[in-house]
Amino acid sequence: MPELPEVETIRTQLAPRLVGRRIAGVEILDPLVTDPMAPDEFSHALAGQCITGLERRGKYLLVGLESGATLAVHLRMTGRLHWRARRPGPGEERFLRALLVCDDGSTLAFGDARRFGRVWIIPAGPMQREYWCGRLGVEPLSAAFTARGLAESLHGRRVAIKTALLNQVVIAGIGNIYADEALFAGRVHPLRPAGSLSPHEYRALHRAIRDRLTVAIAAGGASIDSYRDGLGQRGEMQHLLRVHLHEGDPCPRCGTTIVKTVVGQRGTYWCPQCQPDPTGAHLPAMRRRPRRVRQAVGA
DNA sequence: ATTTTCCCCTGCCGGC
DNA sequence: TGCCGGCAGGGGAAAA
């Protein structure tokens, strides 16, 4: 499912292809995609508009328009954005829900098998957009995201740290994949109460979040499900996941068998050795292992 | 206020 | 081979 790294990958690819183009036509094939806005109202806001910029906020892709309005896109579970130099032929785009046609004949297809994905029009005005994005927390790759800030935002919270990481009000853009990966990299058990980490652990987790997201962006995102990038290609991050979807496999760090449990209704993968149990009080400071077991990549 | 549960939606997978 | 139940999960509303 598209999380921050996947959306950022798409943004990077689409920006040079879309910015400066004029929208010639909008076709809504599934009215659910604009819900609750009426499809014709949605189309009207886009028709004839020049695309002025492409940004990302959390898992949202934000398409700036010359009118000052913003087209916001969320891919949710199975949504895809697929750019083509020419309009896709009949049956060429699976699960096509909406199509945006540019003045040069290039197209942006919105496909979505499960129909959870949505598009919105944010009215003109910086305040409007600010307000619209107001429910989103800090961008984890921005300078505003600090270990101290993370600790403060989780102070007193008793929900599982994994659930907190998935909460977009706390941090914007982390989903199930990178929550698991960051907790593993930071050596934090997913069920630890969010407010119970030591300063050292908040620092480790903060660092792990940035590291995993950065690596994932460099890898073009994880195509473990239906994710494809803006050009229809797979990413490579699925080969670099260390615990997510690795139930039964040896931990790449210590060799212990990776387990899967459910945390906050979400499948959760972790290493019982590297991410010590929440009920067992703080363990003594961990010594660095001289050697790490390398994960077999590719295969 | 915070936390938990439910729901949306449908392709895909394992089991028989 | 084919049918079918159940799983997957982001996010928001509703309930606890």
Tokens of A274: 């590297």
Residue A237 CA and nucleotide C8 C1' are separated, in Å, by: 19
A206 torsion bin: left (phi>0), alpha (psi -120 to 50), beta (else)? alpha
User: What is the C-alpha separation between A77 and A73, in angstroms, rounded?
Assistant: 13
User: Contact A213/A141 with Cβ under 8 angstroms?
Assistant: yes
CB neighbour class for A285 (10 Å; exposed up to 12, middle 13-18, buried from 19)? exposed
Share of chain A above pLDDT 70, in %: 93
- pLDDT tens column, A35-56: 888 999 999 999 999 999 999 9
Residue A84 CA and nucleotide B14 C1' are separated, in Å, by: 36
Tokens of A271: 């290493």
Residue A219 CA and nucleotide B12 C1' are separated, in Å, by: 26
Residue A247 beta carbon within 7 A of nucleic strand C:
no
Closest CA to A184 of A158, A156, A159, A165: A165
**Active site residues per annotation of A:** 2-3, 59, 266
Q: Which long-range contacts (CB under 8 A, 24 or more apart) does A222-227 make?
A: A222/A5, A222/A6, A222/A177, A224/A177, A225/A1, A225/A77, A225/A78, A226/A78, A226/A80, A226/A113, A227/A1, A227/A2, A227/A6, A227/A80
Q: Where are the alpha helices (DSSP H) in A47-160?
A: 126-132, 147-153
What's the pLDDT at A284?
Answer: 33
User: Contact A185/A263 with Cβ under 8 angstroms?
Assistant: no
Residue A289 beta carbon within 7 A of nucleic strand C:
no
- pLDDT tens column, A254-292: 999 999 999 988 999 999 999 987 664 443 333 223 333
Report in angstroms the alpha-carbon separations of A236 from A6, A45, A178: 11, 36, 14
User: What is the C-alpha separation between A41 and A285, in angstroms, rounded?
Assistant: 59
- pLDDT tens column, A167-211: 999 999 999 999 999 999 999 999 999 999 999 999 999 999 999
pTM for the predicted model, two decimal places: 0.91
Q: Residues at the strand B interface (CB under 7 A)? A: A 32, 77, 95, 113-116, 157-160, 163, 264-265
User: Contact A45/A128 with Cβ under 8 angstroms?
Assistant: no
Sort strands A70-74 and A60-65 into parallel, antiparallel or unpaired. antiparallel
User: What is the C-alpha separation between A58 and A72, in angstroms, rounded?
Assistant: 11
Chain B nucleotides near the protein (CB, 7 A):
2-11
Chain C nucleotides near the protein (CB, 7 A):
7-12
Lookup result for tokens 């183009």: A21
